[in-house]
Amino acid sequence: MAVIALTIIVRFVLLPLSHKQRNTQAQMKLLEGEMTVIKKTYANDKRLQGEKIMALYREHGVNPLSGFLLIFIQIPILLALYFVFTRGIPFSAIDLYGFVSLPNNIGTNFFGILDLSANNIWAAVLVGVSQYFQTVLALPPGPVQEKGKEMDLGSAFAKSMNTNMRYVMPVVIVLVSAKLPAVVSFYLLTSNLFSIAHELMVRRKARTLVSI
């Protein structure tokens, strides 16, 4: 329960960044037309093409790396959970906070169902499934190849990245999570469910605004 509470608190704190990431994805989708023109115009000069695309991002206040910031911020939390559930709380933590007493023991068993201190393949699979649905909801549709026409390099790369994020990333997360204590999977699962609920709420609000 403490892990669930911690995850929800962290996600609420990171909510502004989550909104920014979602807005960035929406903006990048809207800029696809202009990006296609730039790619065709500067097809023979990749350096200038990259500069023009970055200038387009700056003009519209788009940061394509904003999604990675969410991941990096949560890495220390995942490391802390990993060490606490595998090695316990260090005695030096006793003097860290005067208003917090050191617990006699840490309950690592979730309602008798899951031992959070041991690895668990089923918990990892649940994380992979939730990651897939969260990615499907968050990512815009990838570029579609027109019949009889070859994709340009940028569109092909975008399509490849879209496919990898949808189908390869969840599998990688399952493989990695299966080797770690289940508490890491538990945190990621709760975080993904929060993101899914957030995305559905945003979409529902958007439909309401459109209907108005």
User: Tell me, what amino acid is at 211?
Assistant: S
* Residue 98: inside a domain: yes
* Residue 184: inside a domain: yes
Segment 102-133, tens digit of pLDDT: 666 777 888 888 888 888 999 999 999 999 99
Task: Please indicate whether residue 87 or residue 197 has the higher confidence score (pLDDT).
Answer: 197
Of 35, 41, 82, 80, the closest CA to residue 55 belongs to: 35
pLDDT of residue 210: 44
* Residue 114: inside a domain: yes
The rounded distance, in Å, linking the Cα atoms of 59 and 30 is 13
Tell me the mean pLDDT in the region 194-200: 85
Tell me the mean pLDDT in the region 179-201: 88
Of 158, 154, 152, 117, the closest CA to residue 140 belongs to: 158
Whether residue 195 has pLDDT greater than 70: yes
Tell me the mean pLDDT in the region 146-160: 59
* Residue 52: inside a domain: no
CA atoms within 13 Å, Cβ hemisphere of 114: 17
* Residue 20: inside a domain: yes
Flag the least confident range among 82-86, 109-113, 143-147, 196-200.
143-147
Tell me the mean pLDDT in the region 9-17: 83
* Residue 59: inside a domain: no
Segment 48-78, tens digit of pLDDT: 877 777 787 777 776 666 666 677 777 888 8
Tell me the mean pLDDT in the region 37-50: 77
How many CB atoms are closer than 10 A to CB 145?
A: 12
H or E stretch covering 115: strand 114-115
Q: How confident is the model at residue 157 (pLDDT cuts 50, 70, 90)?
A: low
pLDDT of residue 97: 65
The rounded distance, in Å, linking the Cα atoms of 67 and 61 is 15
* Residue 50: inside a domain: no
Give the number of domains in the chain: 1
Query: What's the pTM value of the predicted model, to 2 decimals?
Result: 0.66
Determine the structural domain holding residue 97 and report its residue range.
Answer: 2-30+65-211
* Residue 56: inside a domain: no
